[in-house]
Structure 1
């Protein structure tokens, strides 16, 4: 047996194997003798075996699964993340379990609403065929909250208002039959969606008034630049039957209100930039406005205290309390996050507590909400995280500074 190998020899005269060399297969004419050549052949076979044993195992394919949503708890919350406005996300966070339990894409600058029976989530949003440009499609997406799966959609006129999200950009009627989607082109209108038939029922021209505040069966109000409210009633098919304008209740020049509001009975609580609570009930005709009351004393005002944030207050009828996000600022600071949360008794209008956030080394709060169960929590966004407090004592029950990115909206799931 002759093997021709170019190269060098080892100290015993055996060839040094070149790892790039592929030797020819020898023809075996005689019984193998114990020679240097046999040692070399054993080395080649050993090398080949080692190479084979180090070959990577084939990767196993991954399978994505979707688990059913856990039963709704008192302390599960929606959070709307807008770090990428083209790919906004709706996430559900369980404060008790301290973890995210669901998430879904929500398109560009969406409006999010929940049905009164907690069964569905509705997202009014826009998509573009080429990311930021191209053909635009507006839809109302319908998600079943038991599975967090999309179960339907309604294509909308391509005029859904693209704005910093508000709880009143997209809303559901008090009886659950219609969704109201705010439009700005810049002309203002509302698309009425029949949620039972899952179709567009019609469009209401709101004459420079914006947003929707459900006010009884088939009835909503919009806020007008005149300081009045436009109240529209619909028939069972979603077509406008009557409209009326309220008396002025907003001083738009000197002390405008936040567009955020808190439901209270059949009406709403509005709050002005200076800290004046303004109750309004649009479910009656004419609309009723109870006497406003001030949460900021003259001494507080001298120190620069005023409400601020994207959802600057929340109210709990069960606890009989109003929670307001407060900061020290001046004119134009109404979007600044809160360094304190002030708590007011709704019966006496007296301030009963001040929860000092930054003094307790907590982060300022951009939004406030209150849960609706037997153990209510006041919770909200710190932009990148969530903080939650016992609604009665103010005791901190949760603080997570890294739950998400650019959380601009929160409310109970």
Structure 2
């Protein structure tokens, strides 16, 4: 009876399998870029040779797609939302061998590669930071910060699809685009370097300011933000610097302090800015040298008034934040544990969370 029962079961199981339709695969196409979409960059620590970028929808609280990238990659989205640029490094033997650095161009609707632009194999390879690359505000030129340890910036013409040249910037790091032909860099002595390009992407002028902040007494976070021709830096102790980046050289306009109250700014990508004139700062309870602690709250600072106008208490601590640039913005708050919280940026209302987005997500990138 047991043998008969087993034989009957296997016969029915095989019959069910025979009736299953064959599986087929397909490729979905995304609609035009939406204002509440954001990429999360995962450096895949400690397996840094294969990074990824996950595209999230803040309205649906869902994942839309993913781009697989090379070693310690960074990402930029074109101003029109039609193309995505991955700045990547590869080695011929995965962890060794000949090094190749490229800018890979992706179609934003299919997330499939359209082509590559080779660049000098000297870009800054470090745990993912937002400002190791940048786009000029018109989307024409891509800027890539290099460190060998000589410091320079590679310029790529995205319209012509070619590498233009390299600008030597000794003592100054990272890139903060200010306009269609200008960007600012932070220098080791607390000064800022203003760089102007001509219409061919060649350097027109380099102008270095006097010391703006004291890196020995109160360093600034490298994750700064720009709004128009303004650059906003925040120090470890909560001092905000407003810089006119269009000046020759860059010029300090004013400073003001965040409310003390036992809080300090900290995290990773701890700043975001909205066109309505609001600076969002990730903060935590702490003292000196707690600048890497995850944030418990996000403070909303009116740039016009130079004061806090709101505070958003996070459901769970976060390391990075990003505010969308539309009229009804969302605030994304990224945890190192692989999930994103979503809030109304103006209301502070918690919308929900998106889970399981990576091993070591660090940076949020929108358009």
TM over 0.5: yes
RMSD: 2.4
Give the 5 Å matches for 1:96-111: 96-111=59-74
Query: 1:95 touches 1:398 (CA, 8 Å); kept in 2?
Result: no
When normalised by structure 2's length, the TM-score is 0.91
**Alignment partner of 2:328 out of 375, 378, 383:** 375
Match of 1:346 in 2: 303
Q: Is the 8 A contact 2:275 2:325 kept in 1?
A: no
Equivalent residue for 2:273, pick from 286, 291, 315: 315
| Equivalence for 1:325 | 282
Inter-partner Cα distance in structure 1 for 2:366 and 2:199: 29
Scaled by the length of structure 1, the TM-score of the pair is 0.81
CA contact (8 A) 1:235 1:241 kept: yes
> 1:89 aligns to what?
52
Distance in 1, Cα, partners of 2:311 & 2:183: 35
More strand by share: 2
Distance of 1:191 and 1:116 partners within structure 2: 20
Identify the residue that residue 350 of structure 2 maps to in structure 1: 396
Unaligned runs of 5+ in 1: 1-18, 20-46
Structure 1 322/242 Cα, relative in aligned 2: closer, same or farther at 3 Å?
closer
Aligned: 1:295 with 2:248:
no
8 Å contact kept, 2:179–2:228: no
Displacement after TM superposition at 1:54 (Å): 4.7
Greater RCO (Cα-Cα under 8 Å, separation 6 or more)? 2
Stretches (4+) displaced over 4 A: 50-62
What aligned pairs does 1:10-159 form with structure 2 within 5 A after superposition?
54=14, 57=18, 62-83=23-44, 84-159=47-122
| Whole-angstrom CA distance in 2 between matches of 1:64 and 1:330 | 54
Unaligned runs of 5+ in 2: none
Question: CA 1:53–1:236 in 2, change beyond 3 Å: closer, same or farther?
Answer: closer
How does 1:157-168 map onto structure 2 within 5 Å? Answer: 157-168=120-131
Cα deviation for residue 309 of structure 1 reads 1.0
Q: Considering only CA atoms, is the larger Rg found in Structure 1 or Structure 2?
A: 1
Counterpart Cα distance in 1 of 2:12 and 2:325: 63
1:52 Cα deviation from its structure 2 partner: 12
8 Å CA contact retained: 1:296, 1:306: no
